[in-house]
Amino acid sequence: MRVAECLLKIGPIMKRATLLFSAVSLLLGTLQTFAQTPATSPAPSPEMPAPLTTPAFKEVAVIKTNKGEMTVEFWSDVAPETVKNFKKLSKEGFYKDTAFHRIIKGFMIQGGDPKTKDLSQESAWGTGDPGYKIKAEFNERKHERGVLSMARSNDPDSAGSQFFICLDNAPFLDGKYTVFGHVVKGEDVLLKIGDTPVVSNGRERSKPTERIAVESITIVSPPAPAPAPTAPATPNAAPVTTPPAAK
C-alpha cells in the first residue's frame, strides 16, 4: 500500500521534471541557433549629396555697341571712386549714343567722350568730359587685353568720363593710368572693333572709317538676397484685467 502511494506521489513530480527538462532543452537550442547566426550590420545610409552652391554674381556693366555687346566686371577693390563715377554716369545715360572715336590696332579702343554725340564737333572729339575731373587711383593691376582703364591728359587727375579698353598687353601704361575693370564676356566684339579700318586724324592714325556707336552702358547688379522666413504672428492675448477690489 505504501509503495502504491509513493508511486502516486512521484508520478506528478516526474511529469513536472520532464516538462521542465523539455523547456530547458528548447531554450538551450534557441540560444545555440542565435549564437551561430552571424550578426547583420545595419544597411549603410545613402550619402547625402553635397549642397549645391550658387556662384557669386558680381556687378557688371554691359556695353552695347553697333558691333555687339561687351560685359565688364569692376575692380572696386583697387579703384572704388573710379568705379563709382563710371557707374553713376552709366546709370544717368551719359554714355548713350557716344562712340569709340579712337582706335589703334593692337593697342586700345577709346570712348566715353560726350562730344562724339555731335558730328559737328568732330574736330574736338577726345576733349570732352562730364564737367568735372576725378582723382587718379593708380594701382597694381596690369594693362592687359580686355582691361578697362581711364583716359586722361598730362595731369594725372584729369580723367572724367573717357575710358579705353586694351586690345593687347600694354605694360608701359602700368601705374600711370587708373585700371578699374576687365572684359569678362564679348572679347570677340572687342577685337572686331579693334580691327576697324582707321585713317589719320591729323595727329595719328586712329580715326575709324565708320562710326562705332555706343548705344548704351547698363549696370547689372546682383539680385537681392531672399528675405529670411518669418515666424507666424502670435495672436494678441486678451488683456489681463484686475477685478475691482471689494470695498
Cell readout for 26 is 528548447
Positive or negative: CA dihedral 81, 87, 89, 95: positive
Confidence of residue 240 (pLDDT cuts 50, 70, 90): very low
Inter-residue contact 205 to 107 (CB < 8 Å):
no
Coil, helix or strand for 66?
A: coil
For residue 16, being part of any structural domain is answered with no
For residue 132, being part of any structural domain is answered with yes
pLDDT number for residue 69: 98
| pTM (2 d.p.) | 0.70
Q: What is the pLDDT of residues 97-156, one digit of tens each?
A: 999 999 999 999 999 999 999 999 999 999 999 999 999 999 999 999 999 999 999 999
pLDDT number for residue 239: 47
For residue 129, being part of any structural domain is answered with yes
The β-bridge relationship of strands 98-99 and 108-111 is unpaired
Inter-residue contact 182 to 75 (CB < 8 Å):
yes
For residue 153, being part of any structural domain is answered with yes
Inter-residue contact 69 to 63 (CB < 8 Å):
yes
For residue 3, being part of any structural domain is answered with no
Tell me which of 237 and 10 has the higher pLDDT: 10
For residue 203, being part of any structural domain is answered with yes
Tell me which of 61 and 14 has the higher pLDDT: 61
- The parent domain of residue 78 ranges over 60-210
* Residue 161 reports pLDDT greater than 90: yes
Inter-residue contact 165 to 190 (CB < 8 Å):
yes
* Amino acid identity, position 149: S
Number of domains in the chain: 1
For residue 92, give Cα distances in angstroms to 39, 87, 88, 95, 236. 75, 9, 6, 8, 48
Confidence of residue 7 (pLDDT cuts 50, 70, 90): very low
Residue with cell 512521484: 10
CA neighbours closer than 13 Å in the CB half-sphere of residue 220? 13
For residue 7, being part of any structural domain is answered with no
For residue 65, being part of any structural domain is answered with yes
Cell readout for 103 is 582706335
Cα(59)–Cα(73) distance, integer angstroms: 7
The domain that contains 118 carries what CATH number?
Answer: 2.40.100.10
> What's 197's DSSP letter?
-
